[in-house]
Amino acid sequence: MTNGYADLHVHTKASDSTFSVEQVLELAKSCGLRAVGITDHDTVDGIAKAVEIAPSYGVEIIPGVELSAEENNCEIHILGYFMDWKNPAFKNKLDELRHSRMERAKKIIEKLAGLNIELKLESVLALTESYTAVGRLHIARAMKLAGIVNDIPEAFRKYLGQSGPAYVKKQFLSPLEAANLIKNAGGIPVMAHPGVLNNYDLIEKVLQSGMQGVEVYHTEHSSGTVEKLKMLASKYNLLITGGSDDHGAGKSKIYLGSILIPYEYVENMKRSLKKEEK
């Protein structure tokens, strides 16, 4: 007997996926998922639509977000779940974060121009939905479309990656600030894909910075990583989450439904929210 499965880390066109909310739900349904977590970068713009149409797909929407933070010069992603996504203060803060993303995109394009690579901001923004949450992935895609690079990895390797000539640092929150932002909106902060960092001192430091959960299951986690993270979840008494981090056809392949976590993990999250209310 199973209670069904969930994929708790999925992006939509509201940030940098190529999939609309409808496409995400269609795919979630065909994978037989009970619940799907919508976790766009710095925006909750995809959630209203998702919640509205989800019943017709028979899939539960777990409202989420993915924020970028920084610790020890490393980019750390923090997921938030079950926040009050209509909360005005929360939405305002996300607007600010998105504004700084836009400023960063402009600077990257200036740097590319300095390398005699002409890329129009418009062509980058055209790849985002409603000109929001622009990121390096959009720039990389625009570079590919313009024939500047052959593929997305090449754009990061040659230009946009941390050691590339067109790299621009982002204005980041600290992990604690990101966690507090989510908590203040009534949500659960979860450290995203820690295995990508592969630095366990840093991972443990972040897990102790206001996190209430850890993304144990992720497309880029090996089974060894999963075991280590499970141990840390019990060491720090953290909720366990997991998801595919699907970006539609934007990355090399479609991952939605490739990471399935038992629905019990979702129930654990809901229980912990109830406890907070008391």
| Closer by beta carbon to Zn ion, 42 or else 66 | 66
d(CA 159, CA 87): 38
Amino acid at 11: H
| Closer by beta carbon to Zn ion, 11 or else 34 | 11
Residue appearing with tokens 């690079």 = 149
Residue 71 · residue 123 · CB < 8 Å: no
Residue 9 · residue 37 · CB < 8 Å: yes
Distance of CA 97 to the CA centre of its chain: 14
Distances (CA, A) of 29 to 7, 13, 64, 251: 11, 18, 19, 21
Q: Which residues bind Zn ion (CB under 5 A)?
A: 66, 77, 192, 245
Closest Cα to residue 246, out of 38, 100, 49, 52?
38
| Closer by beta carbon to Zn ion, 60 or else 245 | 245
Amino acid at 263: Y
Least distance in angstroms from the C-beta of 120 to Zn ion:
27
| Closer by beta carbon to Zn ion, 67 or else 166 | 67
Please name the residues in contact with 242: beta carbons below 8 A apart, sequence gap of 6 or more.
7, 8, 9, 215, 216, 217, 218, 259, 261, 265
| Closer by beta carbon to Zn ion, 166 or else 192 | 192
Least distance in angstroms from the C-beta of 277 to Zn ion:
28
104: how many CB neighbours lie within 10 A of its CB? 18
Least distance in angstroms from the C-beta of 11 to Zn ion:
6
Residue appearing with tokens 């970028």 = 68
Residue 41 · residue 152 · CB < 8 Å: no
Least distance in angstroms from the C-beta of 77 to Zn ion:
4
CA end-to-end span of the chain: 32
Phi and psi (nearest 5°) for 142? -65, -35
Which residue of this chain has its Cβ atom nearest to Zn ion in the complex? 77
Least distance in angstroms from the C-beta of 68 to Zn ion:
8
Least distance in angstroms from the C-beta of 146 to Zn ion:
25
d(CA 111, CA 113): 5
| Closer by beta carbon to Zn ion, 191 or else 239 | 191
| Closer by beta carbon to Zn ion, 76 or else 269 | 76
Least distance in angstroms from the C-beta of 15 to Zn ion:
8
Least distance in angstroms from the C-beta of 10 to Zn ion:
8
| Closer by beta carbon to Zn ion, 7 or else 245 | 245
